[in-house]
Structure 1
Amino acid sequence: MKKEVIKPLAGMLLLLLWSIRYPNAQAQPALIPQPQQIEWTKESFQIHAGYSIRLDPELNQLAEQAKAFLQEKGGTFSPKSTRQITVKLGKVEAPLYPEEAYRLLVDSERIELVANTPHGIFNGLQTLRQLVRESEAVPGCRITDYPAFAWRGLMHDVGRNFQSLPFLKKQIEFMALYKLNIFHLHLTEDVAWRLESKRHPELTRPETMTRDAGQYYTQLELQELIDFCRARYITLVPELDMPGHSAAFRRATGVEMQSVEGMKIVKGVLEEFCQTFDLKYLHLGGDEVKITNTAFLPEMAALVEKHGKKVIGWYPGGNLPKTAIRQLWMGSARPTKGIPSVDSRYLYLNHHDPFESVVEIFNHKTCSVSTGDADHLGGIICVWNDRRVASQEAILRQNPVYPALLAWSERAWRGGGQVRETTRIGTSGSEEFGNFQEFEHRLLDHKKLYFQDKPFPYVRQSNIRWRITEPYDNGGDLARTFTPELTDDWSEIRTSEVVGATVYLRHWWFPEPTGWLEKPVANSTVYARARVWSDAERDAGLWVGFNNLSRSPATDSPPPGAWDNRMSKVWLNGTLIEPPRWARAGQKGHAEIPLVDEGYEYRAPIRVRLQRGWGWNRILVKAPVGGFRSDWQNPVKWMFTAVLVEEDGENMKAMEVKYEE
């Protein structure tokens, strides 16, 4: 009887200690990205006690922004107050990109923001905005900050799936808050040409579009978006993809781009574009196409450069001149000395599982260097939702845009990263684990503060511990049973610790990013077990998945009555958890059929019942795999996701339970 009492009490004590160790809110405001240099003090500036504002005249608009958000938080503007907020241009020493650097000082009598340029002032205001919480007190600090990379961007493919201006603007607002400064807009595709041309209005006729017919941006609308970005120190980089991805052009004009007549039309479009829009860059694409006319891309690039604009193109790609900036997109691509590069390798969010995305981006080494220079400009995370979506909102629900944006903000601003691409958080106690866990605390704090009503498919995962077996040889029989699913006693089973909600045993881009198995072998079965303490019997939600479908290829839906086509299984306390009744069970993948419930992050979690008993609940996962060879549409993703969740407004949050360490 005593043992029955002691065990639950011990479990509750562990849960209490864990809750103290990982509180919901941090002692100091969570900042993303974390400044390069920050020192906290014991002072604070009380914004409700009244303050005056002193500023350089050319910064009046920026100072008004500061005044507005301080008043929203209860601040009181008092022109005669000796307590002062100063916003001014001055000298800020920074080893990198001084044009974006700033210095911020907060004590009991003043807030002083100094920067070399208005852009630096804007960056400092974003930090100040995050410092001001609900307490009406700005914590004392001394900050000197600057970015590690010049380009910190987000790309959307609006050629395939149109997004409205208000929808894009809301995302741009978040980009600004997190100091991203490049908005790459992929405007043309096989599906549709989505930018108005007054010389060639046939390009945007509804009948030439295979999705969102009639939806495109007028020249005035694109200018509005350019101005909206510019006001937030974000550079809009439009992309007119050529000569590939141009079926819509062919339907509209009746000619191929690389033909003599096609080149004439394209040159006319580019002339019009360059004369209409005051932009520094124009992306010409150039990827995934057979070059039949070697003069095409060089002549188009020369025309754009003649108008004083810098050309960007995908690499690997077509024969663009060496004067063009290269945007790296394949894992094998490497920066070339003397040619500026922008990194998008492994940064395609449409291929990312939400938990994987945050880990992978947080660990990413941009352009394979720790800090930027003239050859290593930075990077752009990309959302290529090739597959049709049911609504523009689905783009944010089915792709981890906001969690990834925060992770990218941290990495691109701070620099650093790991040499190898990886989906691994790291083992308990390791430096990489500690770094990720600290960032995850800040990320979840921001989720609570800014994304309550926005799709944010991420919950805490650094507290989840799995014991994973060595692979068993299943001989190609995916249904074959092994010891771990026949007994609760794993004392004689060799296991290793794995951390996280999503576990990639072998990434489908193997060998990088790395999964948890160093040498994965085909025809293997792996088991994973997690133990969860619950001090009461209660209902819970469980996010479960075994194949997080990319939103690009036309991947098949799961078969009826199964989690996937590999016979994966999951149990809770010895009870098999049945998969959902899929809306399109067994549906052959098709680019024009939207995804609806195939991913755990955009369907309701499985309802389960946690037992009290001894307090520990057992989650057991079986993950078999056959061969690794596959076609592009149905890649073999040897992975699993399992995490207990509960509703939290628009999103889910992790259940307050204790995972056994």
Structure 2
Amino acid sequence: MKIKLHLITLLLLISSFTFAGVEHLLPKPQQITVNAGSFNLAQPITVIVPAGDDFNFVADEISSFVTANGGNVATSSVSIVVNLTTNIAGAEFQDEAYSLEVTADKITILATTLRGAYWAVQTLWQLAEGNNNQVNACKITDWPAFRLRGYMHDVGRSYMAFEELKKHIQLLSRYKINTFHWHLTENQGWRLESKVYPKLNYDASYSRHPGRYYTIEQAKELVKFAREHGVQVIPEIDMPGHSEAFRKAMGHSMLTEEGLAEMKAIMTEACETFSDVEWIHIGSDEVRDPDKVGATISVEYFIQQMTSHIRSKGKKIVVWRPGFGYTESDVDMVHMWSSRGSTLGSLPAIDSRMHYINHFDQYADVISLYNSTIAYQTKGSHQYPGLIVGIWNDRVVPTDRDIVIQNAFYQSMLAAAERTWLGGGKGYFYEIGTKLDPNDIDFADWERRFLYHKANHLKDEPIAYVKQTNVLWRITDQFPNNGNVNTIFPPETQETAHSYTHNGKTYNTSSAMGAGIYLRHVWGPGTVPTFFSNPQANQTAYAYTYVHSSSKQTVGLQLEFQNYGRSEMDLAAPQGQWDYYNSKIWINDEAINPPVWQNTHTGKSNEITLKNENFTARPPISVTLNEGWNKVLIKLPNNGFTRNEVRLMKWMFTCVFVTPDGKDAVEGLIYSPDKNLNPMIEVLTSAIDNANAIKNSVMVGAEPGKYSTTAVAKLQKNIDAALVVKNNPNLTNEEYKAAAELLTKQIEDFKKSINMPKVSTESKQYWYSLSAPNRDASRVVAYQGDNVNLIGQPFAANTDKFLWKVTANSDGTFNLISKVKDSHISPNSAFNTALKAQDGIPTAGGWIFKPIYTNQYFAVASGDVQLNQTTSGLGYNIYNWGGGSNMTDAGCQYLFRLESLVGADALDSLQMALDASYGFKSSTIVGKNPGEYSEEAAETLNKALETASDVLNNPESTQSELRTTKVALLEALEQYKAGLNYPLASTADKTIWYSLTAVRENRSVAFQGDGNVLKGEPYVADDDKFLWKLVALDNGSFSLVNKTSDTYVSTATPRLTAVSGTQTEGGWKFTPIFKNNYFIITSGTSQFNQGNSGTAYVIHNWGNGTNMTDDGCQYYIIPRLEVGTSVNSQTAENEKIWIEDGKIKTTGDIRQLRVYNISGQQLNAKGRLPQGVIIVKTPYQSLKFVIK
């Protein structure tokens, strides 16, 4: 039997067949065929390797492998044979490539290098692990996608034991990690012995871990040990920055003649110590003022001298980028760090931009690391060798164990090991973010294999990670808390639900998966996407799930709300709080209190040890799970993302149940927000949520970035079909899974149907403006002349320099051609320099437009060249920046807006009318409240839209039909606009009390006493100072009267004031802002305007009666209470409430009702009520009844 195992189908095949060892390979091999039979290791085995000392480490590794699996190396009829070759058939990259063939009596290894042969043996180790001394018969052809696969330890700051370093090299070589970057020197210490200048290693030269350094012999030993495990060492001696330890020892800066001479001698010694390494890293970034104190030579002169000196010793030089301004000829490889890291000419560039795991949490960041491409590449090249995962130890942690476990070291390294070996990826960090897709079988498969290795090869290592692909949540939309993190919202007072109503607005929930979830990443939404695509300050979200346990049991809980970076001097949370946001968690409605924080200092210092701030540094919280379902509710407020106590705030949570010792997940638990015992229903629910979120976020129309009505209707049909499956309790796990996978594919198909910019022809020319609205909505790309920098300038209508058309090339790319003349935007600009227009219309090598999908924008790229709108600091020039695939930077997100169409016909006119109608309707709300549109008008418009879409898509429609349909559509649109609901005046029979809530900070107009200025305050239910009724005046305006004391709002003061009396003229009018449900409130030139904190939130008379754009002038008019004179039945939020036989009846939950008499005394909601007026308060509003 032979079964071909392709990478994508490997996981599916494992469900049908069991190939012990094969299913746990990490990284996965590029090609594998599994055959019948196996090779028995528990017997004498002949080992044959080519002669020569160079092969000794391979022979030794094979011998260790055989012995560990019960065999011995001896003359035998079965053998393991190793040979070198110049070519491995089928391998895309030959360096480190190998083939491995296993039969019943022979294992054959063929490799292009000794390192490749060593990797083949590591594959054998994995194939035999847990397989009873057997290796399944198979044929593997394997090679790395990237040639550099590494990690860095910052021992300069924090010394690590020599044996710990060797252990990491040995353990990680099992996963084909081939580079150890050894950061040896820092301000805190010089960790490499110097016999030339021994005072570098004196205790007085260290500010941390004094006297702890590696001897020259240890350094040589480590290089040899690493080489025998397939690993190259790249030592780093940082210069001339990060050099306080040098200054302490030598008494002066490196930037002196003495310092330069000493550094040359030191580097001569270092090059001799590291005689067997190819690369020397010299850092050379962040040369700061302290490094320059007493300097007598320039940084430029020092660098030129040192690079020349080191190269003269036969070493190649690696430097940080950004850093010193090297030219391409100065060094041999650059090491990119931070989002500013970039290539330098054609030099090899290591990617570490988003790979500093000292900022990582234990779960969510690992997802993005696994799924990300490397330097935007899916496979390596000369310029893109691979990545290095870095740990910076700026903050002291107690032990080497803490460095490993708190930095998520092993899960990060094994995620990087697979991505660098296998290649691929779903996009770069900036595009994919940290969200875990329930249908991501690649990550789930990696997790399964990683946890196997955690339990076996890495069983003695500190690893906090447990399974998270079964941990399901629902997370609410963001509730505005106005900076008060203690504000209580409906999820705290009501049963869990898929949606909640608060202050007249609906807040939905969405599904999420993972043990660690970012609502906002530490680097912000413009860099790393998270659960909320647009996380806002001063908001509160809630997460909930239910956890099913088959029995009552005591378990551990991994829990944290601020993962403390190991390079930060952040302060522990206040005692009694989980974090500075005062996040909370309840399990079965019982609050879980935080531990006692061991750090209580208030002055920041990296030299104060990080203690139990992170959950990895403390025992799991002991909690009891009941038999059956257990409720978990988490409150996640924020009051801004900057504060003094914590430099890098993370809006996030980690929550997962583990064994009491914290080592493993609790077996048999089911996480389900909807209490489904079948987890696949939750996966299907997540797919439906995702589909609905995408459908609700898109815009309908023909413009670029929008979707056709047909595509949206098809997606809705697919969602409906998935809902039918979800709601059928009698289906199998596989049927739910198949429906989830189908809907996920249909979502991807829908996304591909997005409208692209239209290509112009001779008969029809589409002239677009190109802007980056998220960077600066007023600026569009403007032609300045050939070979002149393009600039983003304020748009002016009927100006050709702002207009561009799209033409197609033979290679599938497109040109952007100016209307001024036949000049195109050229991609021939270096990274981080301005783009220019050049004469002519190319036929190849143009641009592609990559939809961003979450909005109407596109990334405009040509290979790794990308349009980016800069800011004033760069003169608003259009730069080549973004790497070709940056989807998150505001300057990379371009809107193509059609400004004119030459050659338009009736079809185009109808399409534009359809776009305008859909655009207007999509920005409005249908309902009964003020600012919403009537259902009748919406139904009329929907029918007209449907008819227009049908006519538009019918190829047999005549020009006359197209024109008639357009007229009918525009008439329906005007009828819809006329169906707007306005606030209603109170009458003798019914009084309606409204709150007037500004868009600015969601503050409501609050009465402050007769004759006092009004202020905006966070709305509080049942407080009359927020309630206003409209009293109609003879001139068609309204008096705004407060419920507290029947005072009205004067129209004649610079700061609006409530005055006593009865208003008879000069009242207020409510003018709608048609594209949302806001109003402006005006009286002639007087206008309501919500002030800000600088004006103590007073309500100003500002806006001249016409301002519709300032958010302080935009008001929601929210009905809060209706009072009738003789009411026997009312409805609140679809819950009918009535009086029958003197008792309250409701279609809802009577336990949610509170009943009071006119004096404010609470009554029994379930008992017979006394005669007179009573007030019934629901979670949504208050109602008045008269009991007769």
Common fold, TM-score beyond 0.5?
yes
Moved more, 55-64 or 272-281: 55-64
Q: 2:148 maps to what in 1?
A: 151
Displacement after TM superposition at 1:332 (Å): 2.8
Alignment of 1:551-630 (within 5 A): 551-585=566-600, 587-612=602-627, 615-630=628-643
Secondary structure of the residue that 2:375 maps to in structure 1? helix
Aligned to 2:473: 466
Moved more, 483-492 or 407-416: 483-492
CA distance in 1, matches of 2:67, 2:646: 52
1:657 paired to 2:669: yes
Report if aligned partners of 1:159, 1:187 keep a CA contact under 8 Å in 2: yes
Q: d(CA) in 2 for partners of 1:126 and 1:21?
A: 25
Aligned partners of 1:173 and 1:653: how far apart in 2? Answer: 27
Distance 1:598 1:25, change over 3 A: farther
Correspondence list, 1:332-481, <5 A: 332-421=340-429, 422-429=432-439, 433-481=440-488
Deviation of 1:345 after TM superposition, in Å, equals: 1.1
Ranges in structure 1 where 5+ consecutive residues have no aligned partner: 1-19
Of 178, 181, 184, the match for 1:184: 181
Counterparts of 1:656 and 1:596, CA distance in 2: 32
Say whether the 8 Å CA contact 2:364–2:435 is kept in structure 1: no
Aligned to 1:316: 322
Displacement of 1:596: 1.7
Q: Which residue of 2 aligns with 1:171?
A: 168
Post-superposition CA distance 1:24-55 (Å, at most 9, x none) = 99784401111111122232112225543333
Maintained 8 Å contact 2:32/2:141: yes
Superposed CA deviations along residues 370-406 of structure 1, whole A, max 9, x for unmatched, are 1111111111001111111222232113221111111
Residue 599 of structure 1 and its aligned partner are, at CA, apart by 0.6
Stretch of structure 1 that moved more, 111-120 or 123-132: 111-120
**Given the alignment of the two structures, is residue 34 of structure 1 paired with residue 28 of structure 2, yes or no?**
yes
Secondary structure at the aligned position of 1:468 is classed as: strand
Which residue of structure 2 aligns with residue 638 of structure 1?
651
How far apart are the structure 2 equivalents of 1:267 and 1:23? 62
1:113-146, CA deviations, whole angstroms, 9 ceiling, x for partnerless residues? 1112211100100001111123121112111000
8 Å contact from structure 2 (residues 499, 509) kept in 1 = no
State the alpha-carbon separation in 2 of the partners of residues 266 and 76 from structure 1.
51
Amino acid paired to 1:119:
R
1:261 offset after TM fit, Å? 2.2
Cα distance change on mapping 1:601 and 1:441 into 2, 3 Å:
same
2:219–2:273 CA contact under 8 A, matched in 1: no
Q: 1:274 aligns with which of 236, 250, 271?
A: 271
CA contact (8 A) 2:44 2:76 kept: no
Distance (whole Å) between structure 1 residues aligned to residue 416 and residue 499 of structure 2 = 42
Aligned: 1:47 with 2:41: yes
Superposed CA offset, 1:42-77 (max 9, x none): 321122255433332244542342132222112254
Q: Is the 8 A contact 1:534 1:658 kept in 2?
A: yes
Residue equivalent to 1:16? none
Cα drift, residue 636 of structure 1: 1.4
1:505-516 aligned at under 5 Å gives the runs 505-510=519-524, 511-516=526-531
Aligned-partner Cα distance in 2 for 1:334–1:361: 19
Please report the TM-score for the alignment, with normalisation by the length of structure 1: 0.92
Q: 1:440 to 1:381 in 2, by over 3 A?
A: same
**1:529 and 2:526 are equivalent in the alignment:** no
Q: Kindly report which structure 2 residues correspond to 1:199-348, keeping only aligned pairs within 5 A, or say none.
A: 199-278=196-275, 279-290=277-288, 292-323=298-329, 324=331, 325-348=333-356
Segments ≥4 residues shifted beyond 6 Å: 20-27
TM-score by length of 2: 0.52
Q: Distance in 1 between matches of 2:191 and 2:213?
A: 4
- What is the deviation of 1:173? 0.4
- For residues 465 and 201 of structure 2, the distance between their equivalents in structure 1, rounded to whole angstroms, comes to 38
1:631: how far off?
5.7
**Within 2, Cα distance between the matches of 1:523 and 1:26?**
52
Range with greater deviation from structure 2 (318-327 or 200-209):
318-327
Aligned equivalents of 2:16 and 2:457: distance in 1? 20
Gap change, CA 1:632 and 1:313, over 3 Å in 2 = farther
User: In the alignment, what sits opposite 1:128?
Assistant: 124
Contact 1:149 1:377 in 2 (8 A): yes
- Kept after mapping to 2: 8 A contact 1:425/1:436: no
Which letter maps to 2:82? V
Residues 220, 273 of structure 2: 8 Å contact kept: no
Asked whether the equivalents of residues 395 and 566 of structure 2 are also in contact (C-alpha less than 8 Å), the reply is: yes
User: Mean alpha-carbon deviation: is it higher for 412-421 or for 626-635?
Assistant: 626-635
Q: CA deviation at 1:96?
A: 4.3
Which residue of 193, 198, 209 corresponds with 2:195? 198
CA RMSD of aligned residues (A): 2.2
What is the alpha-carbon distance in structure 2 between the residues aligned to residue 22 and residue 126 of structure 1? 26
Q: What 5-or-longer segments of structure 2 have no aligned partner?
A: 1-13, 293-297, 501-507, 673-681, 683-1188
Q: Does the 8 Å CA contact 1:546/1:563 hold for their aligned counterparts? A: yes
Residue 364 of structure 1 deviates from its aligned partner by: 2.2
CA distance in 1, matches of 2:212, 2:18: 43
C-alpha distance in structure 2 between counterparts of 1:629 and 1:428, whole Å: 32
Query: Is this contact kept in 2: 1:281–1:310, CA < 8 A?
Result: yes
Alpha-carbon shift at residue 84 of structure 1 (Å): 2.6
Moved more, 617-626 or 418-427: 418-427
Aligned CA distance change for structure 1 residues 637 and 331 (closer, same or farther; 3 Å): same
Between the aligned partners of 2:560 and 2:631, the Cα distance in structure 1 is 17
What's the CA shift for 1:177?
1.1
- Alignment partners' CA distance in 2, 1:25 and 1:455: 29
Of 548-557 and 402-411, deviating more is 402-411
Whole-Å Cα distance in 2 between the matches of residues 389 and 249 of structure 1?
24
281-290 or 356-365: bigger deviation:
356-365
SS in 2 for 1:635: coil
Match in the other structure for 1:10: none
Partners of 1:344 and 1:72 lie apart in 2 by: 37
Distance 1:271 1:491 in 2: 67
Contact 2:555 2:660 in 1 (8 A): no
* Partner SS state of residue 518, structure 2: strand
Identity of aligned residues (%): 36
Amino acid paired to 2:114: P
Aligned to 1:485: 492
Q: Distance in 1 between matches of 2:404 and 2:436?
A: 28
- Residues 633 and 209 (structure 1 numbering): CA distance in 2 closer, same or farther, change over 3 Å? farther
Counterpart check, 1:540 vs 2:570: no
Tell me if structure 2 keeps the 8 A contact 1:568–1:624: yes
Contact kept in structure 2, 1:85 and 1:110, CA below 8 Å: yes
Aligned to 2:1050: none
The AA in structure 2 aligned to 1:190 is: N
Partner Cα distance (1:576, 1:42) in 2 = 56
Match of 1:100 among 74, 96, 103: 96
> Are 1:113 and 2:109 matched, yes or no?
yes
Conservation of the 8 A alpha-carbon contact between 1:328 and 1:341: yes
**What is the alpha-carbon distance in structure 2 between the residues aligned to residue 133 and residue 452 of structure 1?**
13
1: CA distance, partners of 2:25 / 2:660: 25
- Contact in 1 for aligned 2:411/2:465 (Cα 8 Å): yes
- Give the residue type in structure 2 aligned to 1:656: G
